[in-house]
Structure 1
Amino acid sequence: MTKDIKSSQPLVSIVTPTYNRPDYLLVALKSAVSQTYQNIEIIVSDNCSPENPQKIIDSFQDPRIRFSRNEKNLGMFANTMKAFKMARGKYVASLLDDDMWAEDFLAKLIPPLEANPNLSLAFCDHYIIDANGEVDIAATRKCSNSYKRNNLAEGIYQPFYRQGLLDRSVSTATAALMRRDFIDWDLIPAEVGGSWDVYLNYLFCRSGNGAYYCPEKLTFYREHEQTDTMQSGKLNFKAKIRKAKADIFCYEQFMADERLQEFKPYFQQQWAQVSTNLGIGLMRSQELEAARPYFWRSLKQKLHWRTIVALILSFTNTKIATKF
């Protein structure tokens, strides 16, 4: 690409917050520098990893990579927002340090945004890969089905409340290109925590602008033991508590928004389910009394056997309750 052509194209900021995943980071950055669309900056924000990834950055000898290392660990949310705030591009995309992009990810999502200034973002489908980078066909199919991308037609959705907040078809953390200046990054509350991508969906949706969907799988989401999704399972109750608190905060914002009132019953149902998850997380951490109010408020919204059993167990022996 010549310098004149490159300078005439909009700058895209690739945001990569990272912590203690040097091998995965190397792979992620390789996929970034290999983009066929080359007018990019790659922002790597290291959250004070035990092993400084400076050598990895230097190995690329690519001036498009901007590296910043925190003097202390800021936490996942603060480090991620710091990276977004460093962005200077017209468009911004999240490339997490354990994920990868197909080389034409940007090239295929930029044109619809350039052609339509009323679009907030463009998004695509993605593959699921394992810890070794192998595509898991069954998991990929399940993911596309779960998030309703399998039957989602290519094109513009405006508004896109259903795709962004109900079906969760839009993944701003994994497979989306966003207009940077549509968001005031300083106003994203810390309470959203690990659900920052869900909250971004909300902010883009409520603007009233549209979203473009490309039905191709252009990114690769890696599932492994260190991801927040895996850690919020049965054994890691602390991660489960963090995730549930973040989700509850988001759903409470959605329920209070007058623009989303037609979807309020759905958000209330999800809020109740997540309240149960939070209660179970607290119960597994031996905080039985703290867990009960979340079970009660969940049951006030909807009777469910899982919540009823959890509430009963919260009045039993701690050793029994923590095994639920």
Structure 2
Amino acid sequence: MNPQPLVSIITPTYNRPEYLKQALTSAVRQTYENIEIIVSDNCSPENPQAIVDSFKDPRIRFSRNETNIGMFGNTMKAFKMARGKYVATLLDDDLWEEDFLEKLVPPLEANPDLVLSFCDHYVINADGEINHEITEHCSQLFQRADLQEGIYQPFYKLGLVDQAVATAMAAVIRREVIDWDNIPEEVGGSWDIYLTYLCCSTGMGAYYYPEKLTRYRRHDETETMLSGRRNYQAKIRKAQAEMFCFQCFMEDEKLKEFKPYFQQQWVKVSTTLGIGLMRAEQVKQARPYLWRSLRQKLNLRSMAALLLSFAPAKVAAKF
């Protein structure tokens, strides 16, 4: 019998062998030892089985999909494989400090009314070097810089407006309170935002531990970086997922005091989706999103995009 409750570490992966090895190294080195590490490979061109086997650690459970089932499908599959009392996501390109679990699990054990505990994080580059300027910018941007240690209940604003709770890399969640079978696939790559929403919706509390215990890697192949460049497929995917989430939030009566904020975000993302479709030369499909944005709020970006959508598709694609 182990006095520590089991924690399931969720690591979905695709085609990042070197980063995966680094992520798993940070997992097996946790000072909190009662863990299972679930690695779900989404049919990578190079099977990472050898990397997993090289650790010779029986706590790692490896599964490989016969076909690529998409990022959302692969992530949810890994969550559903979990057997622990708690779950925590360690993406294949991120890292944990050795005491990440040691510091975030005890508050949950001490208080059964907590749904999750979370911390701050570093931002590292492709080579693993900490960018201190961007790290501090993120701490300020997501309202963690001056956040005091302790319990926040409810935490709707903290989780969904401030976006201080990074469930994809810097949180430990009480597994049993989430219905993993009923997370809609429309949330796509924004599954972490929706997961935060589900955690908030329990009415339980969140515990903040004010240290940087994880390392988020910024590199060219992250969905965030792809959607920020002229990769219209990534931009479209990200915008569609975010619009679905914001629509759900606007319809939730428990969130009515924050509805103006979610409407504002919906308008912004609707314009982004319209521009993404224009860059894909799908100008007719783009116009309804741009019209909706303008009906909600008049802004120059949406207006300029809408006007340009009536130009030839190849011209509009240069917006």
| TM-score, L = length of structure 1 | 0.97
Q: What are the superposed Cα offsets for residues 89-122 of structure 1, whole Å, 9 maximum, x if unpaired?
A: 0000000000000000000001111111010100
| 2:106 equivalent to 1:111 | yes
Report the equivalent of 2:16: 21
Offset of residue 215 of structure 1: 1.1
Of the candidates 7, 10, 14, which is equivalent to residue 5 of structure 2?
Answer: 10
Superposed, which structure 2 residues align to 1:119-158 within 5 Å? 119-158=114-153
Report the equivalent of 1:257: 252
Superposed, which structure 2 residues align to 1:167-186 within 5 Å? 167-186=162-181
Structure 1, unaligned runs of 5 or more: none
Report the equivalent of 2:217: 222
1:171 is paired with a residue of what secondary structure? coil
Aligned length: 319
2:228 is paired with a residue of what secondary structure? coil
Measure the CA separation in 1 of the matches of 2:169 and 2:8: 14
Amino acid corresponding to residue 101 of structure 2 in structure 1: L
| TM-score, L = length of structure 2 | 0.99
Amino acid corresponding to residue 217 of structure 1 in structure 2: K
Offset of residue 226 of structure 1: 0.7
Amino acid corresponding to residue 134 of structure 1 in structure 2: E
Report the equivalent of 2:300: 305
Offset of residue 318 of structure 1: 2.4
Measure the CA separation in 1 of the matches of 2:153 and 2:240: 30
Measure the CA separation in 2 of the matches of 1:223 and 1:191: 25
Q: What are the superposed Cα offsets for residues 240-282 of structure 1, whole Å, 9 maximum, x if unpaired?
A: 0000000000011101111111111111111111000000000
2:38 is paired with a residue of what secondary structure? strand
Amino acid corresponding to residue 291 of structure 1 in structure 2: A
Offset of residue 151 of structure 1: 1.5
Offset of residue 64 of structure 1: 0.2
| 2:44 equivalent to 1:58 | no
| 2:313 equivalent to 1:318 | yes
Report the equivalent of 2:235: 240
2:318 is paired with a residue of what secondary structure? coil
| 2:193 equivalent to 1:198 | yes
Report the equivalent of 2:80: 85
Offset of residue 301 of structure 1: 1.0
Report the equivalent of 1:72: 67
Offset of residue 144 of structure 1: 1.1
Structure 2, unaligned runs of 5 or more: none
Amino acid corresponding to residue 200 of structure 1 in structure 2: L
Measure the CA separation in 2 of the matches of 1:234 and 1:50: 25
RMSD: 0.8
| 2:108 equivalent to 1:102 | no
Identity rate, percent: 68
Measure the CA separation in 1 of the matches of 2:289 and 2:210: 39
